[in-house]
């Protein structure tokens, strides 16, 4: 009865809370019918729309500063940590389109002392490959064009493996190379001790620490949905995505088909997964910066504070968006928020 009543007041073309309500309601219905996992898989990998998914991610990238903020913070920390190195190896645990690296490659190519030799290992789980509609060849092509265009020696290795299954042997670690490891909006997909007694999340961080990287960058959603009981997680999801849907509302009109598609393809699947699924089926398991901090410290990392230059570049970026976005610096890390709600954290470690 309540579901029917609620269906009368939510709408994917309504105000932010009505749109979010529509997806949360879908999650509750799926939870009730235990169909959450099927919905998550279907939303994640609808074959005919695989190419479109990319363009929706692209729209989200353009209309909100969330991805750009994460990429800029991570790139800034990597550029700073490796500024005097001649041979660089970047291991990216979620290479996606590879677009994050364009600005860094340009910056490295413009070094007064000449460009370093750069190697990028792009890890990409098989699910993303399916969503992208091809393997990592496209990313390789793009990077090889960058290499020619900016006259910088660049090697690319594709590694289509799930993050927690990556081992040192797969990474071709070479002596004399300075190593940077990047986790952008990806580590929360790796289960921890609450799901798997082997604790793949901390295991992955320990494996990375064992590679002795000069810098490790972490960008994550600032939300607490990993081990919280259902009601708390429900409230947290509602609060987090209310802010996100509001921020999308200021850039795209209510009746925009693009906006509906962006929300359905890029956000709804995560919301349904957090509300409808439990145990191993719940892939979306976000943690707050404080919790990541303690995980990284336990794995042996120390904070690598983001520089004031990175901070000023990000402030300039935010100037192009709504004045309701906020930037908070906290213990060398940065938090991007909407009004008074932090949404994305960026930190660096060594």
Task: For residue range 45-60, list pLDDT tens digits in order.
Answer: 444 345 666 678 889 9
SS3 199: coil
Task: Report how far residue 326's alpha carbon sits from residue 166's, in angstroms, rounded to the nearest whole number.
Answer: 36
- What residues form DSSP beta bridges with 159? 123
State the residue for tokens 């088909």.
Answer: 257
Beta bridge partners of 218: 183, 347
State how far the Cα of 186 lies from the Cα of 91, in Å rounded to an integer.
13
Strand 341-349 to strand 333-338: parallel, antiparallel, or no bridges (unpaired)? antiparallel
pLDDT value for 124:
84
Q: What are the sequence ranges of the domains in the chain?
A: 14-44+231-284, 66-223+288-302
Residue 163 has pLDDT above 50, yes or no: yes
Q: Which sign, positive or negative, has the C-alpha torsion 299, 301, 305, 310?
A: negative
Q: How confident is the model at residue 171 (pLDDT cuts 50, 70, 90)?
A: very high
How many residues would you count in the chain?
Answer: 350
Identify the CA nearest to 31 among candidates 218, 277, 226. 277
Least confident range of 128-137, 140-149, 212-221: 128-137
CB atoms within 10 A of CB 197: 6
Secondary structure (3-state) at 239: helix
> Any bridge partners for residue 336, and if so which?
327, 344
Whether 259 and 244 have beta carbons less than 8 Å apart is answered as no
pLDDT one-digit tens code per residue, 268-323: 989 999 999 999 989 999 999 999 999 999 999 999 999 999 999 999 999 999 99
277 CA to centre of own chain: 20
- For 12-55, the pLDDT digits (tens) are 999 999 999 999 999 999 998 887 667 666 655 444 345 666 67
pLDDT of residue 42: 62
Q: Can you tell me the distance from the alpha carbon of 128 to that of 135, in angstroms, rounded to the nearest whole number?
A: 9
Class of domain 66-223+288-302: alpha beta
Chain segment 87-108, per-residue pLDDT in tens: 999 999 988 888 899 999 999 9
CB 13 within 8 Å of CB 254: yes
Spatial contact of 205 and 292, defined as CB atoms under 8 Å apart:
no
Distance CA 164, CA 205 (A): 9
What integer pLDDT is reported at residue 46 of this predicted model? Answer: 42
Contact residues for 334 (Cβ-Cβ < 8 A; gap 6+): 69, 73, 306, 310, 311, 314, 327, 328, 345, 346, 347
Beta strands in the chain (DSSP E): 87-92, 117-123, 154-159, 178-184, 215-221, 325-330, 333-338, 341-349
DSSP structural state of residue 173: -
Are 255 and 12 spatial neighbours (Cβ–Cβ below 8 Å)?
Answer: no
pTM summary value: 0.93
Candidates 80, 292, 98, 78; CA nearest to 205 is: 292
Q: Is 231 exposed, middle or buried (0-12, 13-18, 19+ CB in 10 A)?
A: exposed
Find tokens 């962006």 and name the residue: 262
CA distance 251 to 63: 6
Residue 230: name the closest of 274, 168, 191, 165 by CA. Answer: 274
Mean pLDDT on 140-153: 95
CB atoms within 10 A of CB 312: 10
Contact 55, 303 (CB under 8 A): no
Residue 339, Ramachandran bin (φ over 0: left; ψ between -120 and 50: alpha; else beta): left
Q: Are 108 and 180 in contact (CB under 8 A)?
A: no
């Amino acid at each position: 009865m309540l579901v029917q009543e609620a269906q009368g007041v939510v709408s994917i073309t309504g105000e932010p809370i009505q749109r979010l309500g529509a997806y949360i309601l879908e999650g509750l219905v799926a939870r009730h019918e235990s169909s959450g996992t099927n919905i998550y898989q279907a939303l994640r990998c609808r074959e005919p729309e695989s190419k479109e998914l990319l363009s929706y991610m692209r729209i989200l990238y353009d209309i909100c500063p969330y991805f750009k903020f994460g990429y800029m913070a991570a790139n800034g920390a990597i550029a700073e940590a490796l500024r005097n190195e001649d041979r660089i190896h970047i291991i990216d645990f979620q290479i996606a389109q590879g677009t994050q690296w364009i600005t860094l490659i340009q910056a490295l190519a413009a070094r007064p002392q000449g460009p370093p030799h750069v190697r990028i290992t792009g890890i990409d789980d098989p699910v993303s490959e399916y969503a992208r509609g091809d393997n990592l060849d496209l990313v390789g092509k793009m990077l090889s064009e960058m290499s020619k265009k900016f006259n910088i020696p660049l090697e690319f290795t594709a590694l289509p493996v799930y993050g927690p299954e990556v081992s040192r042997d797969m990474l071709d670690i070479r002596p004399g190379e300075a190593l940077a490891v990047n986790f952008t909006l990806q580590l929360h997909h790796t289960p921890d001790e609450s799901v798997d007694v082997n604790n793949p999340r901390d295991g992955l961080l320990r494996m990375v620490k064992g590679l002795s990287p000069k810098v490790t960058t972490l960008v994550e959603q600032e939300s607490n949905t990993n081990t919280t009981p259902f009601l708390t997680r429900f409230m947290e999801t509602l609060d987090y995505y209310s802010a996100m849907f509001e921020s999308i509302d200021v850039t795209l009109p209510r009746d925009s088909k693009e906006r509906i598609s962006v929300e359905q393809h890029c956000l709804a699947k995560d919301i349904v997964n957090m509300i409808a699924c439990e145990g191993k089926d719940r892939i979306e398991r976000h943690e707050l910066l404080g919790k990541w901090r303690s995980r990284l410290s336990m794995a042996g990392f120390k904070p690598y504070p983001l520089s004031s230059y990175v901070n000023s570049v990000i402030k300039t970026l935010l100037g192009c968006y709504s004045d309701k976005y906020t930037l908070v610096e906290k213990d060398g890390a940065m938090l991007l928020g909407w009004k008074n709600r932090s949404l994305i954290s960026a930190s660096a470690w060594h």
